[in-house]
């Protein structure tokens, strides 16, 4: 039989309460017994004061315990005299038969042993246990002996047994009441703790059935509230991922449909004889096939990047030389686009210290080429593009800025999403599919770097690439 979490929690709390109550009862019994023993020792110490005073007088007069040591019978006689002293009108000299004699003193005298200052037995023939009480006998500020009082035998003590019985009975009733109260409290607490868990369970079931809008929203500050908040964030992330997946599929199908539609139209026109089959028609078909091929290749590379299938040959690279080489290859591309291109990395290249990063040269060149191609393709002529780089002790920073057109502030955070394009300036007329920046960010993240977009002071778009710097000595 499998027990639910509420039953288990109830049983655990009940078991803990029962253990605590049982422990408290045992502790109370032990403390009561120890209290009785301590009380008996205190009573013995008070009653033994007259014996200690008498022993002090005896030692002051004899200056030795030798008379008691040599004649053990004198010890009992001395005890009788001490107990009968200061008791007027005593007819019977024997304390055991004298009704006015103190019975506790008689019982105490039977449990006393006299030791000298060195701890050697002087008088008394009973066995001295380790827990016996030792009272010092001081004469002229010197300890001349010890009066040892053995613990009383509490067995058969009617008063003690009655008190212990009443204490146990009271503890049992108190324990039963506490156990009942603990059971009720455990049930309420189990129900209180289980309620948010049940809400989480129902929400998880709804989420598993496809309701991604399900939320728990518990107003709690404890761990269950934190768990509910994490669940809500997970559900929100799943909802966003599902929406992004739908948008992704719709965008991919749309991007694939566009060149296919053009190809089908061109082929039907050639078949119907509307358009002659010449070099111009073949060039148009080839252009659409090339666009379709680039789109499929970008999708494949992006899928590999998401799955971590890219293999990066991470080697120390001179970052300044890598940037300068890419800029020189694109200088003519900017000139043909009617753009003025400015490179601000010469000062860093001439510096004595080499600015190195750990990366894959081919992948980083792919990132630089994609960024420069986007700037040359989308910046309106006549315009201006500026590529600058700087470095700190921990990282190298590359900044690419261009002139108009700019990107709206609302679209800036979405530039790195797949298939996202700002249609006002980055339309399909330029041949882009909106995968380049997403691919660049995946590669940069694989290099533990960061790629971000910002409004360019030149009026267009600014992109900032930062990579960790490493020290390299050839």
**Residues whose CB is less than 8 angstroms from the CB of residue 190 and which lie 6 or more positions away in sequence, other chains included:** 6, 7, 9, 10, 13
Q: Among 273, 290, 307, which residue terminates a domain?
A: 307
Q: Among 286, 307, 328, which residue terminates a domain?
A: 307
Confidence at residue 135, expressed as pLDDT on a 0 to 100 scale:
85
Residues 302 and 342 in one domain: no
**Residue 290 CB: number of other CB atoms within 10 A?**
12
Which of residues 3 and 70 earns the better pLDDT score? 70
Residue 459: CATH number of its domain: 3.30.565.10
pLDDT value at 299 more than 50: yes
Confidence at residue 402, expressed as pLDDT on a 0 to 100 scale:
92
* % residues pLDDT > 90 (the chain): 9
Residue from 156, 163, 176 nearest 29 by CA: 163
Is 237 a domain residue?
A: yes
Is 154 a domain residue?
A: no
Q: Enter the DSSP assignment of 205.
A: H
Unique residue bearing structure tokens 């035998």: 153
Residues 383 and 428 in one domain: yes
Domain that holds residue 250: 223-307
Residues 302 and 323 in one domain: no
Q: Report the length, in residues, of the chain.
A: 474
Residues 388 and 281 in one domain: no
Contact by Cβ (8 Å): 17, 186: yes
**Residue 334 CB: number of other CB atoms within 10 A?**
23
Residues 375 and 455 in one domain: yes
Beta strands in 204-311 (DSSP E): none
Confidence at residue 350, expressed as pLDDT on a 0 to 100 scale:
46
pLDDT, average across residues 443-462? 90
pLDDT value at 310 more than 80: no
Domain total in the chain = 2
Is 13 a domain residue?
A: no
Residues 340 and 396 in one domain: yes
Say what the pTM is.
0.47
Confidence at residue 386, expressed as pLDDT on a 0 to 100 scale:
93
pLDDT tens sequence across 6-33? 677 777 777 887 788 778 878 877 777 7
Residues 396 and 450 in one domain: yes
Residues 397 and 429 in one domain: yes
Residue 245: CATH number of its domain: 1.10.287.130
pLDDT value at 450 more than 90: yes
Residues 324 and 451 in one domain: yes
Is 98 a domain residue?
A: no
Confidence at residue 302, expressed as pLDDT on a 0 to 100 scale:
65
Contact by Cβ (8 Å): 143, 156: no
Confidence at residue 153, expressed as pLDDT on a 0 to 100 scale:
64
pLDDT value at 300 more than 80: no
Is 35 a domain residue?
A: no
Q: Among 307, 342, 366, which residue terminates a domain?
A: 307
Q: Is the dihedral of CA 55, 58, 64, 67 positive or negative?
A: negative
pLDDT, average across residues 40-45? 72
Cα 248 to the center of its chain, rounded Å: 37
Is 11 a domain residue?
A: no
Is 445 a domain residue?
A: yes
Confidence at residue 118, expressed as pLDDT on a 0 to 100 scale:
83
Residues 371 and 396 in one domain: yes
Is 394 a domain residue?
A: yes
According to DSSP, the β-strands at 450-455 and 133-139 are unpaired
pLDDT tens sequence across 111-121? 778 888 888 88
Q: How sure is the predictor about 90, in pLDDT bands with cuts at 50, 70 and 90? A: very low
Q: How sure is the predictor about 384, in pLDDT bands with cuts at 50, 70 and 90? A: very high
Contact by Cβ (8 Å): 95, 131: no
Residues 369 and 288 in one domain: no
Unique residue bearing structure tokens 């007088």: 57
Residues 319 and 301 in one domain: no
């Amino acid at each position: 039989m499998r027990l639910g979490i509420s039953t288990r929690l109830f049983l655990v709390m009940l078991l803990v309460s029962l253990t605590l109550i049982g422990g408290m009862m045992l502790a109370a019994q032990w403390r009561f017994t120890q209290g009785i023993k301590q009380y008996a020792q205190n009573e013995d110490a008070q009653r033994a004061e007259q014996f200690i005073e008498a022993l002090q007088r005896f030692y002051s007069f004899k200056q030795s315990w030798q008379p008691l040591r040599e004649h053990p019978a004198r010890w009992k006689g001395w005890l009788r005299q001490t107990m009968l002293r200061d008791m007027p009108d005593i007819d019977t000299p024997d304390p055991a038969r004298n009704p006015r004699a103190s019975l506790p003193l008689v019982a105490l005298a039977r449990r006393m042993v006299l030791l000298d200052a060195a701890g050697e037995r002087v008088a008394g023939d009973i066995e001295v246990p380790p827990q016996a009480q030792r009272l010092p006998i001081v004469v002229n500020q010197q300890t001349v002996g010890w009066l040892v009082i053995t613990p009383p035998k509490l067995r058969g003590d009617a008063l003690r047994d009655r008190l212990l019985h009443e204490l146990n009975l009271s503890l049992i009733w108190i324990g039963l009441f506490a156990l009942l109260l603990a059971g009720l409290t455990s049930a309420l607490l189990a129900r209180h703790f289980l309620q948010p868990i049940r809400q989480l369970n129902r929400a998880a079931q709804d989420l598993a059935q496809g309701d991604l809008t399900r939320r728990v929203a518990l107003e709690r500050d404890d761990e269950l509230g934190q768990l509910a908040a994490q669940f809500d964030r997970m559900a929100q992330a799943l909802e966003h991922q599902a929406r992004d997946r739908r948008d992704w599929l719709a965008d991919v199908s749309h991007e694939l449909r566009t060149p296919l539609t053009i190809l089908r139209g061109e082929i039907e026109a050639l078949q119907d004889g509307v358009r002659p089959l010449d070099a111009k028609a073949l060039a148009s078909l080839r252009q659409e096939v090339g666009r379709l091929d680039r789109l499929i290749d970008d999708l494949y590379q992006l899928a590999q990047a998401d799955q971590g299938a890219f293999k990066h040959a991470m080697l120390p690279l001179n970052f300044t030389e890598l940037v300068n080489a890419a800029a020189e290859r694109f200088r003519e591309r900017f000139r043909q686009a009617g753009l003025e291109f400015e490179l601000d990395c010469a000062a860093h290249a001439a510096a004595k210290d080499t600015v190195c990063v750990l990366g894959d040269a081919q992948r980083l060149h792919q990132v630089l080429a994609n960024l420069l191609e986007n700037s040359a393709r989308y910046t309106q002529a006549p315009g201006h593009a500026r590529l600058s780089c700087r470095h700190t002790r921990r990282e190298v920073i590359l900044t690419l800025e261009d002139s108009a057109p700019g990107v709206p502030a609302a679209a800036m955070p979405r530039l790195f999403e797949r298939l996202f394009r700002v249609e006002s300036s980055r339309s399909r007329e330029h041949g882009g599919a909106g995968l380049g920046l997403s691919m660049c960010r995946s590669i940069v993240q694989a290099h533990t770097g960061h790629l971000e977009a910002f409004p360019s002071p030149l009026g267009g778009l600014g992109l900032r690439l930062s990579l960790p710097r490493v020290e390299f000595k050839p």
